[in-house]
Amino acid sequence: EVQLVESGGGLVKPGGSLRLSCAASGFPFSNYNMNWVRQAPGKGLEWVSSISSGGSYIYDADSVKGRFSISRDNAKNSLFLQMNSLRAEDTAVYYCARDTSSGWFAGWGYWGQGTLVTVSS
């Protein structure tokens, strides 16, 4: 069974940093592109960042570029999101999501339960 479990969320002051983790199991992690998506309270989904299966290709939303950094450790079946210079508008539930297919885009069929990040003084 595919499982994605996020952790690392919490309350942080503006300008602070946080590192989110996503522990993956039940599938060959190194074969799949991975993604972070966030959802501010009462708002819609916002794509944050994506990383290719081997980690060579990284894409970030303009809203987080230069502040957030996605990475992965295929040996430990883990995905990370390093978040620096946090702002109030970064407050959201952060989900990790896996491409359904390893070979082509077939949607993001697997999602974690999300971890809440609150940026407030």
Partner 1 sequence: EIVLTQSPGTLSLSPGERATLSCRASQGVSSSYLAWYQQKPGQAPRLLIHGASNRATGIPDRFSGSGSGTDFTLTISRLEPEDFAVYYCQQYGSSPPHTFGQGTKLEIK
Which whole-number Å values give the CA distances from 39 to 48, 52, 59, 118, in the listed order? 10, 22, 18, 12
Number of amino acids touching partner 1 (CB under 8 A):
24
Pattern 18-57, binding to partner 1, x per CB under 8 A? Answer: -----------------x-x------xxxx--x-------
Residue 113 binds partner 1 (CB under 8 A): yes
- Contacts of residue 107, Cβ cutoff 8 Å, sequence gap at least 6: 99, 100
Q: Which residues pair with 11 in a beta bridge?
A: 118
CB of 75 to partner 1, least distance (A): 26
Q: From CA 21, how far away is CA 89, in angstroms rounded?
A: 20
Contact pick of 10, 15, 109, 120 for partner 1 (by CB under 8 A): 109
Nearest CA to 17 out of 93, 92, 119 is that of 119
Q: Are 44 and 90 in contact (CB under 8 A)?
A: no
Residue ranges in 71-90 that form contacts with partner 1 under rule CB under 8 A = none
Among 84, 111, 116, 118, binds partner 1 (CB under 8 A): 111
Which residues contact partner 1 (rule: CB under 8 A)? 35, 37, 44-47, 50, 59-62, 95, 97, 100, 104-109, 111-114
